[in-house]
Amino acid sequence: MITIQIPASMEQILVLRKNISEALPEQYRELTFKAELITEELLTNICKYAKNDTTLKVSFACGMSFIDRHPAFLIELADTGNEHNPFIHLKTSGIEGSIEERSIGGVGLHLVEEMASHFVYSWVDSKNKIQIFLNVE
């Protein structure tokens, strides 16, 4: 498992992509696009709620894991910002209806939900923690 600490900044996305590439075993390379897109969406969300707080740090981890005894690629982001569960309004915001009727936001998180095998949000030790699992089988 690779773990790094970065500033809450979208400029860090290339660093995170590099870590995903290093952590993802060769036989699961087809997951690269999903893992990178999910990571980018989650980092965007963290930065959005950080509101230009340049002191906010994000802990990023990725690597092979298991969920229900099945191998999975785990992406984990944790930040010390205010408590915010990005998935809490996912079901109510929806992407149904015409573009004119939809509220702004939520599409990226909807993509995360669709691509992930399993996702978990928790507030632990005054940190927002998001874990995303991608099945590899």
CATH of the domain at 68: 3.30.565.10
Number of domains in the chain: 1
| pLDDT tens per residue across span 27-59 | 999 999 999 999 999 999 898 887 767 788 999
Spatial distance between the Cα atoms of 63 and 54, rounded to a whole number of angstroms? 27
- What is the pTM for the complete model shown? 0.85
108 phi/psi in degrees, rounded to 5: -60, -45
The tens digit of pLDDT for each residue in 5-28 reads: 999 999 999 999 999 999 999 999
| Dihedral pair phi/psi, residue 47, rounded to 5° | -65, -40
Q: Which domain does 27 fall in, by range? A: 2-135
- DSSP for residue 30: G
